Amino acid sequence: MADLLSSLKLIAKAKAGNTDILHEHKWLSYLYRTDEKNVNLEQVESLENLEPNPVLHYVEKTLAILDRCYADLPASEKEIIEEVLRWSEVAKCGSAQKREEWRRRGFQLRIHNIGSARIYAHEQMAVPFGQRHLQKEDLIYTLILTHGLVGQFIRGEVRYRQLYPLIDWIQSHRSSLKWDIKRILLALNHCIIEGVSPAIWEKVRAETSQITSWIAAGEKSREHSLKERLRRLRECSIQKGEDFEALYTKWFSNRELASMFHLLFQKTDIWYVESALQDFSFEEFLKIFLLVYQKTNLLTVEQISFEPLMKDIYYDYKGKKSVNLYKKRIIEAYLKACPLAGLISGDTQPNEHVTLELIPFDSLGSTTGVNFTFSKPGEKLIAFCQEAEKSPLYERSILLLYDFFGFRKDAFDRLQNEQHYLADMNNAEDHKKIIADFAKGTVMIDVGAGGGIMLDLLSEKHPDADITGIDISTNVIQELERKKVRERKSWKVKQADALKLSSYFELESADTIIFSSILHEMYSYIPFHGRTYNPDVVKAALKSAFAVLKPGGA
């Protein structure tokens, strides 16, 4: 077998245009000859600037880590790791003709570790029997089969039992092994994880070492609890300020909901879920899984992949990978119209514009993909809005989208420009400080709290006051709740309608009510008595405020 440096040289030669070497090295041929871009988009910053062959690039990085960090590893162990790294991604690649051949053979290409293991095993049959080292091949096959699962277990996507084939193999060969399995496992997983992200590797290094020790020792009783698995699946959302403990307690006190999630998560591995769903709220996350639960055959399903949704939910906006907020808002509106109690009981309201779809990945029903599909008019309107971003048609196209799907117009400025919009509001800090100086009393309401700058200024100026920010936008409230947890703020937020404040606050209970950078939005975008640009909406908002304002309040 060629040494590792030779493998890196082979990749370099192929990338430089020397395709003759592909005939001699099947793994490289499959990685090189591909039109597919099967890659986890979570770590990608720009789809437009994605590597021409991201899988080959990733494999090259993993091999380089092995070469750089494990020069002192015994040659026989290094060869095993090299061979695993060469073959473990091939199911993501291959020419269209080769992929069709693999599908006819029944290879599972959508769950990449399983498909790659089958491809490796098939190719080994072409090696003359007298040249084969069956125990070593068997170990390589098993390591490819379980490739990446340590990292996916750490993320909460995969059950620990998926590592049982590797644990069983080690146990059955322990007396005859010539290699240090713990050392191989740790080095292999180092290459796999750091190849994705050096920062992630530093974060999970200790846990990876612990898990590989369990595997090498033959330990099996290491499954995560449902709560822990969900916590890991929401890690990115928690880092943004999601109060997971409070939300889990709130929703999983419902025994029927908890029972459904226990059953689904006990039976399945769930791929790409964090990549696809991290920008959805916890409640939306639960609703999506309940929709999956309703449509899944729980007797046969083993693997659920959110890869189709992950690929569909992202697009390039001004050169940077962004969540397609047109699609996301439509999905959010659909989920908002589905009460959780109805989803638990199996009662879902059909929506003419969007549907959660399960995509069978095999004929047995064991593996399925998840995505949302949109009506043909909806798809065309979304495409039109994306194209209109480049022209003066943008504002008109967004209003068309809002009319078509029944969205509120007052979220207009935040649809595709949400982060910039909230940042602009926060940049008006000097002007808003003057407003905070005029506030008085101990109970204050900030109408249209937006990015939260007014709430922060009120808290600084009036540290003993009971301050509540309201906004009609679910997304703004969710971001404010995350900000509150992340930055340990004392103010509160509430989703509420400024035209009906007495529905949310006691009459004559507030000392100060603030309308900052919001009345023009209400005037422009809220349909009032059948039309927008209606001055009566401003009058109604002020009347609503005076109803909950104390006599003599501000």
Q: For residue range 182-199, what is the model confidence (pLDDT) as tens digits?
A: 999 999 999 999 999 999
Question: Across residues 33-54, what is the average pLDDT?
Answer: 74
Residue 262, Cβ neighbours under 10 Å: how many? 13
| Per-chain mean pLDDT for the chain | 89
User: What confidence score (pLDDT) does residue 418 get?
Assistant: 55
26 inside domain: yes
Separation CA 516–CA 410 (nearest Å): 14
Task: Give yes or no for residue 12 having a pLDDT over 60.
Answer: yes
Residues 37 and 64 in one domain: yes
DSSP 550: P
Residues 495 and 534 in one domain: yes
Question: Across residues 79-94, what is the average pLDDT?
Answer: 95
| Alpha-carbon separation of residue 56 from 14, 59, 65, 195, 514 (angstroms) | 10, 5, 14, 11, 56
Percent of the chain exceeding pLDDT 70 equals: 92
Separation CA 520–CA 198 (nearest Å): 47
Residue 106, Cβ neighbours under 10 Å: how many? 10
Question: Across residues 146-166, what is the average pLDDT?
Answer: 96
Residues 232 and 211 in one domain: no
Question: Across residues 225-229, what is the average pLDDT?
Answer: 97
- Phi, psi (5° rounding) for residue 468? -125, 130
Q: What is the pLDDT of residues 261-290, one digit of tens each?
A: 999 999 999 999 999 999 899 999 999 999
Q: What is the pLDDT of residues 421-430, one digit of tens each?
A: 556 655 666 7
CATH number at residue 440: 3.40.50.150
Chain-centre distance for alpha carbon 511: 42
Residues 25 and 53 in one domain: yes
416 inside domain: no
Which of 155, 188, 217 terminates a domain? The answer is 217
72 inside domain: yes
User: What confidence score (pLDDT) does residue 500 get?
Assistant: 95
Separation CA 58–CA 60 (nearest Å): 5
User: What confidence score (pLDDT) does residue 410 get?
Assistant: 45
Sequence-distant (6+) residues with CB within 8 A of 333 are 405, 406, 407
Separation CA 119–CA 102 (nearest Å): 8
Q: Are 538 and 518 in contact (CB under 8 A)?
A: no
In Å, the largest CA–CA distance within the chain is 96
Residues 237 and 209 in one domain: no
Residues 469 and 490 in one domain: yes
Q: What is the pLDDT of residues 325-381, one digit of tens each?
A: 888 888 988 998 899 999 999 887 778 889 999 999 988 889 999 999 999 988 888
Residues 47 and 190 in one domain: yes
Report the alpha-carbon angle 380-384-388, nearest 5: 175
Domain count, the chain: 3
Residues 259 and 320 in one domain: yes
Separation CA 219–CA 207 (nearest Å): 15
Sequence-distant (6+) residues with CB within 8 A of 387 are none
**470: which strand partners?**
447, 494
Residues 45 and 188 in one domain: yes
Residues 192 and 234 in one domain: no
Report the alpha-carbon angle 155-159-161, nearest 5: 140
95 inside domain: yes
Q: Which domain holds residue 277?
A: 226-378
pLDDT tier for residue 131 given thresholds of 50, 70 and 90:
confident
Which of 217, 235, 263 terminates a domain? The answer is 217
Residues 273 and 333 in one domain: yes
Task: Give yes or no for residue 414 having a pLDDT over 80.
Answer: no
Question: Across residues 304-313, what is the average pLDDT?
Answer: 93
User: What confidence score (pLDDT) does residue 2 get?
Assistant: 45
The SS3 call for residue 30 is helix
Higher pLDDT pick, 383 / 227: 227
Q: Are 300 and 364 in contact (CB under 8 A)?
A: yes
387 inside domain: no
402 inside domain: no
Sequence-distant (6+) residues with CB within 8 A of 256 are 344
390 inside domain: no
239 inside domain: yes
Question: Across residues 238-252, what is the average pLDDT?
Answer: 94
Tokens of 147: 């490739």
Q: Are 513 and 468 in contact (CB under 8 A)?
A: no
Residues 366 and 440 in one domain: no
Tokens of 253: 């006190």
pTM over 0.85: no
Query: Where does residue 318 fall: left (phi above 0), alpha (psi -120 to 50 degrees), or beta otherwise?
Result: left
Q: What is the pLDDT of residues 476-535, one digit of tens each?
A: 888 899 889 888 999 999 999 999 999 999 999 999 999 998 898 888 878 888 888 889
Task: Give the DSSP H or E segment for 315.
Answer: strand 314-317
The SS3 call for residue 369 is strand
Separation CA 518–CA 104 (nearest Å): 60
Which of 378, 397, 417 terminates a domain? The answer is 378
Sequence-distant (6+) residues with CB within 8 A of 422 are 414, 450, 451, 476, 479
